[in-house]
Amino acid sequence: MTHSVLSTPIKLGHHTLANRVVLPPLTRQRSAQPGDVATELMAEYYRQRASAGFMVSEGTQIEPRGQGYAWTPGIYTPAQIDGWRTVTDAVHAEGGVIFAQLWHVGRVSHNALQPDGAAPVAPSALQAEQAKAFIATGPGQGELVQPPVPRALTTLEVKALVGHYAQAARNALDAGFDGVEIHAANGYLVNQFISAHANQRDDEYGGSLHNRLRFLREIVEAVSQVVGPQRLGVRFSPLFSGTDQDRVYIGLVEDDPHHTYLEAIKVLQAAGIAYVSIAEADWDNAPDLPDTFRQAVRDTFTGRIIYAGRYTAERGARLVDAGLADLIAFGRPFIANPDLPQRLFNGWPLNPLRAEGMYGGNEVGYIDYPVHAQ
């Protein structure tokens, strides 16, 4: 893999990236409590992985109602902005480029995580039956729980949420991030508005696909005005037939995902944003994205295209060589291998992932994975 296309530089918006290996957003649940503040420990984790050509932070909730999992960081208070500045300073000291992922889980939450114990908010009062939220039950202890039936947002509240995304983008710039990514995947709030299965509104944000895409359009426009389109990306998780219904929480299966997501990508193309990131199903025997869809994405979108899934270096390089992708994201391998790009480029063996350190905890399973030289 020494001469892999993944090791070649590429332009992304205003940045020239050193390589095409991406650290994607990966929930690790290690923010400081109370306050959901990014920490020095988190700064070290991202610093270790700054040899990625491009990095996206773990999902960071844009407001208190946007949290669906205990101990995930936010980006709506001064302390949270200061905490993230520690992270971005560490990444930039290593020459890295990092965007913040702006996150709101919508209905995939629980009263225990909501201000004043209220119901979560969503496009419609439809329970996320396949999903689980995660609540704290004690110091460092928690459990997965079923989200309750959410409260449907009013039209004015939807418009106010667009403003929350724009403010979160301002906060991200104040925190030193190089840009932002809108989380529109995995069955969370923006995905809920797009989906006919989660959105049964009868106002301007519901009904037709054009209306269901309105929330996305307005967020993209509002955030672009803050950061500039070339410092903006959007993440989707289109799922096609054959999806294991026990894993629907990773996204929402549309009746015609090809049409739905191409129309969504046309929104991004019209806005001229830097990239679209597509998260594929990543469990055993999950269906592959159809080649016809990949080609249609390339034909529709002139910005950079990132794919994430169960990629090896070889499989990712083939997709780039075929002209269907520009960058490839590696999730679990990057958790276990802080020097992943060098390992991929040189054909060095990979550390195995220790699953017990994935979510929550301390430095164990987080910043204690060795680099190859060790």
5 alpha carbon, distance to own chain's centre: 24
For residues 319 and 55, what is the distance between their CA atoms, to the nearest angstrom?
A: 20
- What is the Rg, in whole angstroms, of the alpha carbon atoms belonging to the chain? 19
Extract the tokens encoding 323: 């002209």
* Cross-strand pairs, 98: 55
Extract the tokens encoding 172: 């991200």
Residue 150 in contact with residue 127, Cβ under 8 Å?
yes
Strand spans (E) along 93-222: 98-103, 121-122, 133-138, 141-145, 151-152, 179-183
374 alpha carbon, distance to own chain's centre: 31
Q: Find the helix packing angle between 257-271 and 214-227, rounded to 10°.
A: 30
Helix, strand, coil tally for the chain in percent (to 5): 35, 15, 45
Q: Classify each residue of 98-107 as buried b or exposed e, where b means 16 or more C-beta atoms within 10 Å of its C-beta.
A: bbbbbbbbbb
Q: How many CB atoms lie within 10 A of CB 79?
A: 14
Q: Classify each residue of 45-69 as buried b or exposed e, where b means 16 or more C-beta atoms within 10 Å of its C-beta.
A: bbbbbbbbbbbbbbbbbbbebbbbb
Dihedral pair phi/psi, residue 131, rounded to 5°: -100, 165
Active-site residue set: 188
Residue 205 in contact with residue 211, Cβ under 8 Å?
yes
Extract the tokens encoding 121: 């908010």
* Cross-strand pairs, 138: 141
